[in-house]
Each structure stands twice: as structure tokens, then as C-alpha cells.
Amino acid sequence: MEEKIKFDDLGLSEATLSGIRKKGFEEPSPIQAKTIPYLLQGEKNIIGQAQTGTGKTAAFGLPLIDKLEPDTGHVQALILAPTRELAVQVCEEINSLKGSKRLQIAPIYGGQSYGEQFRRLKRGVDIIVGTPGRIQDHIDKGSLNLSKLSWLILDEADEMLNMGFVEDIEKILESVNEDKRMVLFSATMPKAILNIAGRYMGDYEVLAVKKQQLTTNLTEQIYYELSERDKFEALCRIIDIEDDFYGIVFCRTKVRSDEVAERLINRGYSSAALHGDISQNMRERILSQFKEKKTNILVATDVAARGIDVTNMTHVINYSLPQDPESYVHRIGRTGRAGQEGTAITFVTHSEYRMLVRIQRMSNTDIKKKTLPGVKDVIHIKRERIITELSETIQGNLEKVNESYDSMAKTLLEQGNPEQVVASLLKYSFKQDLDESQYKEIKNIKMNRDGSRTRLFVAKGRKDNMSARDVVSLIKEKTGIPDSRIDDVQVFEMFSFITVSFDDAEHIIDVFRKAGRGHRPMVEKAKPSDNNRRRGPSDGRPRGAGNRQGGHFYHSERKRGNNKRSR
């Protein structure tokens, strides 16, 4: 049997290993095992290919912590990330791994005050984690000097290119010193990545790991359909029907995490919120209480949940669906560990159903729809649990008569017949637990199904010599969807429309989005304005589309402030 690799085998210093042990990590992930020794000992630039959620941050973060010295007076490492959320996440994780080493690490991203960033940079930073747009802004303003970099790291490079950051990245690469070491991490290897590597990385090595299985057989995955306003009520019912609920409730924002945790506490549950605004000391205290089961419900954001290593959780609740399938898989992978079964429950609203379909398809898993228990069902389960627990208590104490309790029992039994006395005691002890009025009704909603129809906009028309048959053939050739499932094809001068099932629409949109390589996809979900354009402007082009090339529409000028980007 092959011996497992441990962090101690990778060549890290004892000080760095001490920080890893404090976090409870013992075995590196495959990308960490491949990358860390190479960064510690080699000299080549590297491309690390691994999917999201495989521990890439520690793969480059630990070598940085090991090799950099504090107080050099200049920025030693720059880490570029596609979003402000990821920049904060990477910064927090490296901070949590550095132990006692006095490295100054700062996130620099759009939406944050320039004044605060100017002050932070002036005080001195060893490692900067930033979004390309804001980093380029600071270079232009002269507030960021990257002439003495030792390391330049591109995290989730393919995503940055998809989001239109290629110009900013190239400008940054052209403005830094040539003798730095460059590391690029990407889940995929599109041509654009290889172009950057060829132009800027010189002699580089590719370190790739096999794509991991996205789901676990030990995790039961179910979802409930409900409106946004009923999510908290549904959460309470799920907690109440479980004998021993112990898990994480995932929310998308810090504000929602605080709100849900506070409402749970006010309702009598043992709960705590965990997110990016929580101090490190408070984070450690909250996690300690959770691991010791003094708190059994942790309400967390994805960023804050990084690094939590608890093996015996019963549930993961997706109060809000994550932004991508990989994050979903990373969340639910926290249950079903160490041979124990776990349950992943997802709340799905109308607006989240599209993402649920995409998650099921990309993770190749079946997330089963179930119906939430009714109020009477919850009360019945709680009654049965009370009877069972009291019966066990009675049986365990029959031979251990306590004189004070015995005396109290005799006094109470003198007040009426035994059944009335026991009923009164139960009401006194469990009135709130068995009160149906504490639960609110949950409204049934009708969700779009795979059989529902979706209208799609196709950026090709008669001007491209396209007939209805040609449009159908194009969709069939690119996606594999048979023409029998494509209906109501309408071809206009500059564009066309088709109608397909909801599930087919998701697949078609995904295929053409990836084929677009950062430009506007050829096929998109039709908007009301698209339908109105059938008699619209003479050129028939989508609003905001610039030049047209090869059947694809794209912006002739890169727009700053794109809502997917963070400067």
C-alpha cells in the first residue's frame, strides 16, 4: 500500500509546519503535494492545473510564507484574483497559515476606499492580493511599486480571462521586473492561457492533477422549493425534526449570515455566525465551540468556511445557492466524511432553479426534490422524541430513587389522578416545544420544470445566409440536442429565436458561453427587449453590441465597471 504524503515531507520549515498543525491539517491535497516542493526548490515558472476547491491557495501560499522575509520595504509578492471575494478569501487564508511570521498581507480590490488603500500601501506590504483592475489603477497612480517583485501569481487565470481582464493582466506583466518568479493556476488550459505563458513565462513547467470526483456517495442530496421569505421557517423545521442536528448553514453574504444566526439565537437555538468581518481571535473561539458541540449550528459564508475541518457533521444547508457548481461540491463535501453519512439540503427559489439545474448537470449527480414537513408532522416527531427520551430517563432511574424527588412526586400525585398529573407536568415542561403557533405556514410555489419552455436569442440571421433549418442544424451540431426538441424557430435579418425546454436551454447557453471565449455568446436567453427588436433597429443587433466577427457580437471597447468584474 502506497504511503501517504504528509506536509512534513514537502520541505517546509518547522515554523511553517507549526502554523499548519495549528489549523489541524495533516495531509496535503494532490496539487499541494506537487506544487509546494517545486516552488521551494526549483527555479522554473510553473502552471498548476487543478479545479476549484482543491487547495490551490495553500499550494502557493505556504511556499511564500516559507521563503519571504518581513520588513524588506517593498512588495515581494503579488497575487492576482478575478473577484474581490476571492481576493479577500486568499488573503484571509494566507494570514491564517502564516503563524507567527510577521508578514504584512493586504487585499487590494475595487469597491474599497482608495484612501485606505493608499495608507495601507504607504505603511508597507509584503504580499498583495488584488483584482487586476484596481492593481493597474494603483500602478497608474504611482501608489504601487512592483519593480522588486520576487513572485507574481495568477490565481484562477482562466476565470480572469473569461471576465475580460486580459488587457489589465498584460499591462501589469509588462510593468513588473523580469527576474520575478511567475506561477499561474488555472482549472482549464484554453489557448489564451497558453498565449500568456508563451509571452511572459519563459521556461515553465506544467503541474496537473486529475479532476476529482465532484460528489460523495455518503452524502444524501435533497432540495426544497420555496419562496425567499419562507427559508428561515423551513430551516427551523429541518433542525427540529432531527434528533441531533450538527452542521453548517451556508449564506451568500455576511449580512444574511448575521441575520440568520441572530434569528436562530432569538428562537432558542445554539448558533453562531462566521464570515469575513469576524476577527481571527473570535473566529478561533467560534470554531472551538463548534468543534466541541457547544454550538451546533454554524451560519457561514463560503469565504469564512475555508479551513474548517470537522468530520462528524450531520448536515450542510444551502440557505442560498452558491455562485458555481464547484462551490456547491466543496460545501456538501463537508458531510459524509470518515465513513459517516451526511445530508446536504438546498433551498431553491424561482431565481435559483436555473443554477440548481446547472449544478446537477455539471456534477453528474441527482439532487432529489422533497416536500417540507408540515407543522403537525414536526409536532408529532417532537412528541415522539419527548416520549422516547422520558422513557429512557424513567427506566434509568427506577433503581436510583432520590428521596427529595420521591417526596415531590407523592405530593403532586395527591393533587389528582396520575394521568392528569403527568399531563400537567408535560404541559409545564414542553408547552413551548409543542406549540403549533410558533411555526408559520409555508406557501407552496410552482417552479419551472425541465418541461417548461425557454426562448433563446441566436445572433445569426438571414444576413448570415441562415434559414430555420440552418439554425436548428447549428444548435444540434454544437450541443448534440436533437432537432425534435427545438421548436418555434424564427429567423430575422440579423438574428433568430428558438424555443427549447428549460434544461436544454441551460445546456445550450453553457456551450455557447464557453465557445465565446469572453465575448458575447452567440446564443443567450431572450430578453423582452430582444423580442421587441424584431421590428427594432435596422441593423438588428443586440443593444450594446459593437463589432461583429465570425457570427459573434462583442464589445469594441472593453467597458470598465462590468458587473462581473472587480477593480
Task: Read off the CATH number of the domain in which 176 is found.
Answer: 3.40.50.300
Of 351, 373, 395, the residue at which a domain comes to its end is: 373
- Is residue 158 within 8 Å of 138, Cβ to Cβ? no
- Is residue 158 within 8 Å of 51, Cβ to Cβ? no
Q: What is the mean pLDDT of the chain?
A: 81
Which residues are CB-neighbours of 334 under 8 A, at least 6 positions away?
Answer: 248, 305, 308, 310, 313, 316, 342
| CA separation for the pair 177, 79 (Å, rounded) | 15
110, 45: one domain: yes
248, 129: one domain: no
Question: What residues pair up with 452 in beta bridges, in sequence order?
Answer: none
85, 162: one domain: yes
180, 278: one domain: no
109, 200: one domain: yes
* CATH number for position 486: 3.30.70.330
342, 269: one domain: yes
Domain that holds residue 500: 453-553
Of 373, 391, 409, the residue at which a domain comes to its end is: 373
The residue with cell 511599486 is: 145
> In terms of Cα–Cα distance, which of 126, 110, 193, 103 is closest to 154?
193
198, 231: one domain: no
Which residues are CB-neighbours of 330 under 8 A, at least 6 positions away?
Answer: 52, 53, 302
Q: Is residue 434 domain-resident?
A: yes
Q: Is residue 560 domain-resident?
A: no
Q: Is residue 383 domain-resident?
A: yes
Q: What is the total count of domains within the chain?
A: 4
342, 198: one domain: no
Q: Is residue 563 domain-resident?
A: no
Q: Compute how many other C-beta atoms are within 10 angstroms of the C-beta atom of residue 289.
A: 15
326, 264: one domain: yes
Q: Is residue 561 domain-resident?
A: no
Distances (CA, A) of 225 to 97, 113, 347, 447: 39, 39, 6, 7
The edge-to-edge listing of strands for the beta sheet with 368-369 is 271-274, 297-300, 247-250, 315-318, 342-348, 219-225, 368-369
Q: Is residue 525 domain-resident?
A: yes
Q: Is residue 263 domain-resident?
A: yes
What is the pLDDT at residue 452? 59
| CA separation for the pair 322, 336 (Å, rounded) | 20
**What is the SS3 assignment for 170?**
helix
386, 336: one domain: no
| CA separation for the pair 536, 523 (Å, rounded) | 19
Q: Is residue 191 domain-resident?
A: yes
**With a threshold of 0.75, does the pTM exceed it?**
no
What is the pLDDT at residue 534? 44
335, 408: one domain: no
Of 180, 208, 236, the residue at which a domain comes to its end is: 208
391, 251: one domain: no
Low-confidence spans in the chain with pLDDT less than 70: 1-3, 24, 26, 51-54, 162-163, 210-218, 303, 306-309, 311, 336-340, 396-404, 446-452, 517-518, 528-567
